[in-house]
Structure 1
Amino acid sequence: MALDPQLLEILACPDTHHAPLDYDPAAQTLTCTECGRIFEVRDDVPVLLLDEARGGPAQEA
């Protein structure tokens, strides 16, 4: 089952910039269009926790 298109329209990065997210249904991930963080989608539920995201500014150092 894929994420609901209406849900995808309102989802945003949980960081302070609240940028839109790009959904990759094959990888089951959401990627921030601004910071590049990658958030997993587990059992059709987006896990939008900064501590569990991959990539982005926190992991560049």
Structure 2
Amino acid sequence: MIEPDANFPPIEPWLLEKLVCPVTRTPLRWDAGRHALVSEAAGLAFPVRDGVPVLVARQARPL
């Protein structure tokens, strides 16, 4: 079994290209240190749980 690499998102690259911040509608970027999808415009980090992005503003952490 291949171990996941913490530097790469646990979601497919094609999906990451399509995801946007639910607050600002701007692109998200993967932050390996936070293990989250980050919206610089909103100042929020959205968690990824079991490979599923949780794009709910109430679940996001402030940067």
TM bracket, shorter-chain basis: 0.7 to 0.9
Which stretch shows the higher mean deviation, 20-29 or 6-15?
Answer: 20-29
RMSD of aligned Cα (Å): 1.6
**Residue identity (%):** 40
* Secondary structure, counterpart of 2:48 in structure 1: strand
Aligned residues: 55
2:12 to 4, 26, 31: 4
Q: Which consecutive residues of structure 2, in runs of 5 or more, have no partner in the other structure?
A: 5-9
Q: Is the CA contact (8 Å cut-off) linking 1:28 and 1:42 kept in structure 2?
A: no
What is the distance in 1 between the residues matched to 2:39 and 2:55?
A: 10
Structure number having the greater helix percentage: 1
TM-score (norm 1): 0.77
Q: What's the counterpart of residue 51 of structure 1?
A: 58
In 2, are the aligned partners of 1:23 and 1:30 still within 8 Å (CA)?
yes
CA–CA distance in structure 2, aligned partners of residues 38 and 12 of structure 1: 12
The alignment partner of 1:13 has SS state of: coil
TM norm structure 2: 0.75
